[in-house]
Structure 1
Amino acid sequence: MTGTPEFGVMLFTHRFGGQSATEVLRLAADVARTAEDLGFESVWVTEHHFLTGYGLNPSATTLAAYLLGATQRVRVGTAVTILPTQSPVHVAEQTALLDQLSGGRFDLGVGRAGPVVDHEVFGTGIERWRTGLPEALGLVLDAFGGAVAADSEHYRFREVRPQPEPLTRPHPPVHVASTSDSGADLAARHGLPMLFFFSQTADEQARLVARYEQRTAARPVHSASVLAHVTDSPDEAERVVRERLAPVFASGHSDYVMLEEYGGPRPTPAELTAGILANQPVGTPEVCARRLAALIRDGGVGRVLLHVEAAGERDAVLANVERLAGEVLPKVRAELEAA
């Protein structure tokens, strides 16, 4: 990584016990506005379907549109729009529309996710998940350029000219979720930046960055997400993770019926707690800063997306955003400059 790192906020729209959908979604807008006021460069939203607590938002693009309207400066991105369950041309149309309406502040992140139920409900089929993403991404990019048509196993339609054309040229920023070699290869094929997630270690990310750079001369800014929560003591960090964060991620694991490619034992809440406390920037400002600096230095990323919702309650989440901006990020920048 070279240059000054960028920091964004990542919203899963977790729904903790006792919270209404209205409260969760209002908090997302409050976090976006607070992040903008505090100088964060971007806000990113996820997309999940049919989950009770893990993620309330079924349309990353729709929530991103709302947050673009609720802010003035900060970029808003999707991490990710689940491409295999949607028409890639329609995704391109929506992206171009948001690019125009926001004055070029929208970033499209794409990936394929993994729950079986999504493909059952939306009728797209498991085979499109397995093999269709490269063509879908190609159609998105082609649609930005004007005429697009398809005649393949997964997509078949006459030539059309999507509207509106993008404001940003050659197209709005597109990022590719890259949790494996195939994801890195796909991103490199188009010279697009990669999106990493907190389940990937800095060493795994660095390996994929190296693989990417072997395949293309493009050197975009790659992004990585982390779980980030500032506390006054290790005991407080352990309590927040054990009582709030680990259960909501465990609920996601239990609700998902994943494809067999995601095989392996599912972690228990205790295992999730231990792993988060050992690896993520959760803890005192010094612990958070040290782990963030190491991720940027060792992982080859230039943008970090901070998951800030661990506390659950509105005031505590907004206080966490403020502490990250005021107590942690200055330490990260200072450590990287000193190195």
Structure 2
Amino acid sequence: MASLRLSVLDLVPVRTGQTTADAVKASIRLARVADENGLHRLWIAEHHNMPAVAATNPPVLISLLAGATQRLRIGSGGVMLPNHAPLVVAEQFALLEAAYPGRIDLGIGRAPGSDPVTNHVLRHGGPVNAEEAVAQFEGNVENLIMMMDPGGVGVAVQGREYGLRATPAAVSSPPVWLLGSSDYSARLAAKTGLPYVFAHHFAGRGTAEALALYRDGFTPAAPGDQPQTFLTVNAVVADTAEEAEALALPYQQQMLALRSGQPMEPIRLVEEAEEVSVPDAQRPLLDSMRESWVIGDPASAAAQLTELAERFDVDEVMVHPVAGARRGTDPAVTPTRERTLQLLARELLNAG
């Protein structure tokens, strides 16, 4: 696929020996590597109260990363809308679009991105009602989009029309994407004519079914609109397949901890991960997760990504670089994750 676009998803991971400041510095360097090597976009996810993840505030991180790069699109993958007032999100991303016009994406999800207690605090101590959040989600998405529009939106208050704008003099608004790991967001994106991304890197199953629901049910929001999507994939690429397998161990164990309800401690170094024995009872789960990852040398990994793009009929793949760090690595850098992007860009984009 000569026209395949390559993008990157970053959770701003925190590993053994890193501070939050280190993790942010490493992600800024990763964004610069992506920018220099011709990648298309970089998205930041929203997670809370997790020792292994520093991506707690996508708008703040997006501003930092957009300011540190030149042409890379920067966005959220995503903002968890039930945690926030739609107007607040609209104001944040309207300002980002004003500062970096044509380079901002707003990806929206409805998952909590946190544990129930943190979720309770995020929502001002209100009840965490999943059904209510789902019921409000569609209307909140619609309101958010209208608030970011340069023309604003009219709100009826006591029989009078009140004009509401996310920013006073916008000339453009960022594209809005719906994100999900279930059928719900696929159906809503199709109904509203919005771009859509299924969390293949997280779910690993159900991707084809979700994309079929989206494409088959797509209703254009404007004449000429077409379904727009891409694939997200966990990837580790190194000079040799053996090294790539070793570098994948820390993140595999981290995902195993997440799926099995274990504490989410900082991500282990490769040497620490090599000393861990996975219980036999958890081996099938680990093997199942491994099947959806791309791990290998540059030629093999590029071939795997190309095959996935063709299988799911997409022209863009967003890789989540999940290569662990070895002992002695500078805490403020993430060279194996950078190397994953560099090697894939060389194979797929001829970027050097």
Q: TM-score, normalised by structure 2?
A: 0.79
Residue 20 of structure 2 aligns with an amino acid whose one-letter code is: A
Whether contact under 8 Å (2:248, 2:323) holds in the other structure is: yes
1:319 counterpart residue number: 339
Separation in structure 1 between the aligned mates of residue 135 and residue 262 of structure 2, nearest angstrom: 24
Separation in structure 2 between the aligned mates of residue 85 and residue 57 of structure 1, nearest angstrom: 15
2:319 counterpart residue number: 306
Deviation at 1:17, TM superposition (A): 1.2
Separation in structure 1 between the aligned mates of residue 156 and residue 207 of structure 2, nearest angstrom: 34
Residue 181 of structure 1 aligns with an amino acid whose one-letter code is: D
Separation in structure 2 between the aligned mates of residue 276 and residue 307 of structure 1, nearest angstrom: 14
Is 1:292 aligned with 2:305? yes
More helix by share: 1
Secondary structure of the equivalent of 2:75? strand
Is 1:132 aligned with 2:136? yes
Residue 131 of structure 1 aligns with an amino acid whose one-letter code is: A
2:242 counterpart residue number: 235
Residue 243 of structure 2 aligns with an amino acid whose one-letter code is: E
Is 1:73 aligned with 2:71? yes
Whether contact under 8 Å (1:237, 1:283) holds in the other structure is: yes
Separation in structure 1 between the aligned mates of residue 156 and residue 236 of structure 2, nearest angstrom: 46
Separation in structure 2 between the aligned mates of residue 67 and residue 179 of structure 1, nearest angstrom: 26
Task: Give the 3 Å change call, closer, same or farther, for CA 330–117 of structure 1 in structure 2.
Answer: farther
Whether contact under 8 Å (2:238, 2:343) holds in the other structure is: no
Deviation at 1:181, TM superposition (A): 1.9
Give the counterpart of 1:147 among 153, 167, 170: 153
Deviation at 1:130, TM superposition (A): 3.2
Whether contact under 8 Å (1:286, 1:328) holds in the other structure is: no
Whether contact under 8 Å (2:186, 2:214) holds in the other structure is: yes
2:292 counterpart residue number: 279
Is 1:57 aligned with 2:64? no
Residue 208 of structure 2 aligns with an amino acid whose one-letter code is: A
- What per-residue deviation string (whole Å, max 9, x for no partner) do you get for residues 182-226 of structure 1? 11111112211111221344x733322222222224424302211
Deviation at 1:301, TM superposition (A): 2.6
- What per-residue deviation string (whole Å, max 9, x for no partner) do you get for residues 51-91 of structure 1? 011x2111111101111111111110100011001011111
Deviation at 1:275, TM superposition (A): 3.2
Q: Structure 2 stretches of 5 or more lacking a match?
A: 265-279
Compare CA radii of gyration and give the structure with the larger one: 2
Separation in structure 2 between the aligned mates of residue 5 and residue 125 of structure 1, nearest angstrom: 44
Pairwise CA RMSD: 2.8
Secondary structure of the equivalent of 1:288? helix
Secondary structure of the equivalent of 1:51? coil
Task: Give the 3 Å change call, closer, same or farther, for CA 196–165 of structure 1 in structure 2.
Answer: farther
Task: Give the 3 Å change call, closer, same or farther, for CA 268–17 of structure 1 in structure 2.
Answer: farther
Separation in structure 1 between the aligned mates of residue 252 and residue 29 of structure 2, nearest angstrom: 24
Secondary structure of the equivalent of 2:202? coil
1:260 counterpart residue number: none
Is 1:219 aligned with 2:241? no
Q: TM-score, normalised by structure 1?
A: 0.82
- What per-residue deviation string (whole Å, max 9, x for no partner) do you get for residues 142-166 of structure 1? 2123124389xxxxxx763331454
Secondary structure of the equivalent of 1:326? helix
- Percent identity reads 27
- What per-residue deviation string (whole Å, max 9, x for no partner) do you get for residues 166-186 of structure 1? 433xx3111101322211111
Deviation at 1:298, TM superposition (A): 1.4
Is 1:199 aligned with 2:202? yes
Separation in structure 2 between the aligned mates of residue 132 and residue 111 of structure 1, nearest angstrom: 13
Separation in structure 2 between the aligned mates of residue 98 and residue 317 of structure 1, nearest angstrom: 26
Whether contact under 8 Å (1:32, 1:67) holds in the other structure is: yes
Secondary structure of the equivalent of 2:291? helix
Task: Give the 3 Å change call, closer, same or farther, for CA 39–150 of structure 1 in structure 2.
Answer: farther
Deviation at 1:252, TM superposition (A): 3.7
Separation in structure 1 between the aligned mates of residue 50 and residue 39 of structure 2, nearest angstrom: 29
The structure 1 segments of at least 4 consecutive aligned residues displaced by more than 6 Å after TM superposition are none
Whether contact under 8 Å (1:221, 1:302) holds in the other structure is: no
Is 1:84 aligned with 2:103? no
Deviation at 1:278, TM superposition (A): 2.5
Q: Structure 1 stretches of 5 or more lacking a match?
A: 152-157, 258-266, 332-339
Residue 228 of structure 2 aligns with an amino acid whose one-letter code is: V
